[in-house]
Structure 1
């Protein structure tokens, strides 16, 4: 049984990860080269014990908010989303998302989940800046960053080793004031 919704939209609910999630499709996502093409996972095999350890640790942290993305329609766990490295003094956090269920790619699930957690970061956590970095060839994450009103801040040249080659990492961020302007213009 999954945990109750922490944040909810029309398509998705975001909830705490539970150890039971390690018994579902979650572990397979991190062992799938296609799912992990745009992130730093899929370097070592990922097992259920590792997933359980991560879930326990994630639920105990006060410097990160890691949530499961589940479909509102059927409760299926389709990915994870997080605000990592929450810094109370600088009031910043790093955004991360893993949409593991390929059947929901391109259906707006990532966009809605991202909007929910970013809005929560600015309103409930009082953040001033939310940032992320992604591989230069990760078109999906670059498009998601744009939908979140994130601006490109820079490029770290050949900063990551992925699939036998060095790739650039593009850095993005959105400030609370920019987020508020975007939200006001869409409402």
Structure 2
């Protein structure tokens, strides 16, 4: 699978990506807002094992983010918890290469994955959560068309304390009408 954007290309993950995943996982700044399972230390071999089966997981889609200029893997994104009955899922993204932070990559990837979720997967709703103290992520999601729905109080534990998360979502009717 390949989805082409202006600055990035989304593609299926590969076992060979394990070295990058391991490198990102060793940087506390990169994983500070990531899913709990990613923030736990893993070996490069464990990442390779996970990557060998991730493309076959039912109920989720995970895509590598490549820089179109260099072809380097700079992160990954996708939709998890896909419910065929409710036609919804939860968006996630991790940009592991910090050189690409604050350059609009998050917004572009969010738009591409959301478009894929609505048009190809037939989803009606894609939701996400972001730590309230991560304004760059919240701004990227807003620019990509996600709407604030509320605050999940003390929903995440980072840096020795509980922190609020912002709940946001995009709906197919709104998305496809623009």
The answer, yes or no, to whether TM exceeds 0.5 is: yes
Looking at structure 2, the residues matched to 173 and 30 of structure 1 have their Cα atoms a distance apart, in angstroms, of 27
In the alignment, which residue of structure 2 is the partner of 1:33? 28
Partner of 2:162: 166
Q: List aligned pairs for 1:51-130, cutoff 5 A.
A: 51-130=47-126
Q: Distance in 2 between matches of 1:6 and 1:20?
A: 17
Aligned-pair Cα RMSD in Å = 1.5
Deviation at 1:117, TM superposition (A): 0.9
Distance, in Å, in 2 between the alignment partners of 1:38 and 1:45 is 14
2:174 counterpart (167, 174, 178): 178
Kindly indicate whether the alpha-carbon contact (under 8 Å) linking 1:40 and 1:162 is maintained by their aligned counterparts in 2.
no
Q: Could you list the runs of 5+ residues in structure 2 that have no partner in the other structure?
A: none
How many residue pairs get aligned? The number is 177
The CA deviation at 1:45 is: 1.7
> Given the two structures, how large is their TM-score scaled by the length of structure 2?
0.93
Q: Distance in 1 between matches of 2:140 and 2:39?
A: 24
In 2, Cα distance between the equivalents of 1:13 and 1:135? 26
SS at match of 1:79: strand
Shift of 1:164: 0.4
| 8 Å CA contact retained: 2:153, 2:165 | yes
